[in-house]
Amino acid sequence: MGIDPNHFGPYFWATIHFICLGVTSNLSNDQKNGYCQFFNNIHYVLPCASCGEHLRDNMRNITQIEEVFADPSYSSDSLFYWSVDLHNIVNDKLGKPRMTHQDAYKFWRNAPYATFNKNTKDTNSDKNDEVIKIVYKENYSQPIQMFLIFIIGLLIGVMLFYCCRH
């Protein structure tokens, strides 16, 4: 199995969602290709082989990443919504609750370690915000250092894989 997914999983999903939140609407074709290669190959570098296989299989069951960028209605939120759909497939299989695109967007944009504009006030706040904060505290209370170590390791793994293929 490799490393227990409970140890790296939350950081993996945080990385995926933050990468997707950082995407802009005006990407060059090279940038779009880079994102496609990253997401199409990320399953190779997960520290749990069966998790990588499951991720690869799950990615086959949602809109292909290339189609997200090719869609005429593509916006900067499109890739983030794709990542939420992928995460929800995993949540379904694990018996965990699904998140709507709107709830996931609120959650990840307001994550305590996010550096997005904290001065923006959400006038549509409701009880879901409380649930989201509780879920966050239960699932993401590990130190930020572990998150950064995972990101660095993941990027090194993807770079090594990509370099070895060419």
**Burial of residue 166 (number of CB atoms within 10 Å: 0-12, 13-18, 19+):** exposed
| Assigned token pair, 138 | 């239960």
Domains, in order of start, for the chain:
5-165 (1.20.120.310)
Q: Indicate the pLDDT class of residue 125, thresholds 50, 70 and 90.
A: very low
DSSP run (H or E) holding 76: none
Q: Indicate the pLDDT class of residue 120, thresholds 50, 70 and 90.
A: very low
Residues 132-160: tens digit of each pLDDT? 444 444 444 556 666 777 788 888 888 77
Residues 91-117: tens digit of each pLDDT? 999 999 999 999 999 999 887 655 443
Q: Indicate the pLDDT class of residue 19, thresholds 50, 70 and 90.
A: very high
Predicted structure pTM score: 0.68
